[in-house]
Amino acid sequence: MPPEAKDSVASPKNWAERWYQGHLLFALLIPLAWLFMAVAGLRRLAYRWGGLRAWRAPVPVIVVGNISVGGTGKTPLTLALVEQLRQQGWRPGIVSRGYGGKGAQYPQRVEADACASKVGDEPLLLARRSQAPVVIDPLRARGVQHLLATSDCNVVICDDGLQHYALARDIEIAVVDGQRGFGSAWRLPAGPMREALARLETVDFVVVNGPWRASGAAPASAVTLSLQAAPWQPVGVNPSLPVPTAGHVHAVAGIGHPPRFFALLAEQGFQPIPHAFPDHHAYSAEDLQFSPPALVVMTEKDAVKCAEIAPPNSWYVPVQAILPDSFWQALTQRLATWRKPHVG
């Protein structure tokens, strides 16, 4: 596929973005959205009223998720949580869905030398960056049980598990994209919402990724997360490459909202030639051949999949989540009140 075609796939006028923002064509799916709402609502009530029982871990569980589909910044926040918890003396572990991976069995421990096609790009990134034990399993409660049985962690961070009510949680953190907000606010499959906006009133923390630029009011009592770029790193093992400083670059992003990455490069003084791919895209070497000649730079999530196929002069940009001290203080206070609960 030529670069022009790749770029058009992720332009603001493509069908994915139209679906997110609420094109009238997708209003035809609203009856299905009502059915989705009814089933999801009944399931949640069943857990609340005891018809279905959630498994509670013998250690505190922090769930990081969102109420809309697409990337909102959960992975950088999860990494920041691991770092902060370690500084407080905790031994954190991570459980993830493993989306995009084709593992032979679950639950599965993610090692730093694993293949992204087997375990998923985000879990592999988390394992490499955090050096914390990471387990993938579509059944989050089973994944937590395996994590506790195979590591010495004493606090669990569940990446993208807000709607997985079979796992009891002690702290819920909902992450919202400050640029796109909630789009049409229509429920799946008509729009991007997994749950109603009122769900944000029940979580412990609402974190907005970046300044609020979306339509409508920002969520009440939200804290702002900013992403700070770290020094560029070579995608392959080639430490002799000079670190780029400016100029045109072919910018590759297979994440939930690629324009955020392109804007980050522009803020650093580069002139990105954007190449947006679907989230969790399985790259081939041909995907990374561009014209005119220029170095290639990608997100860290893409880099874990491209080390063997990227052109020689390829780089990735690690990012770090920065949150206000008030957030960390409130989280610390919440964990300080934790006591070993009854396992039900």
Q: What is the pLDDT along the chain (344 residues), one digit of tens a residue?
A: 334 434 444 444 477 778 888 888 888 898 998 998 898 888 888 888 878 889 999 999 999 999 998 778 899 999 999 999 999 999 999 999 887 777 768 999 999 999 998 999 999 999 999 999 999 999 999 999 999 999 999 999 999 889 999 999 999 999 999 988 998 989 999 988 999 999 999 999 999 999 998 888 889 889 999 999 999 999 976 656 778 888 999 999 999 889 899 999 999 999 999 999 988 899 999 999 999 989 999 999 999 999 899 998 899 999 999 999 999 999 999 999 886 443 33
| pTM of the model as a whole | 0.89
* C-alpha closest to that of 78 among 63, 68, 67: 63
Residue 106 Ramachandran class (φ > 0 left, ψ -120 to 50 alpha, else beta): beta
**Number of residues that this document lists for the chain:** 344
Q: Which strand (E) or helix (H) includes residue 117?
A: helix 116-119
| Contacts made by residues 101-106, CB under 8 angstroms, sequence distance 24+ | 101/136, 103/136, 106/136, 106/137, 106/138, 106/139, 106/142, 106/143
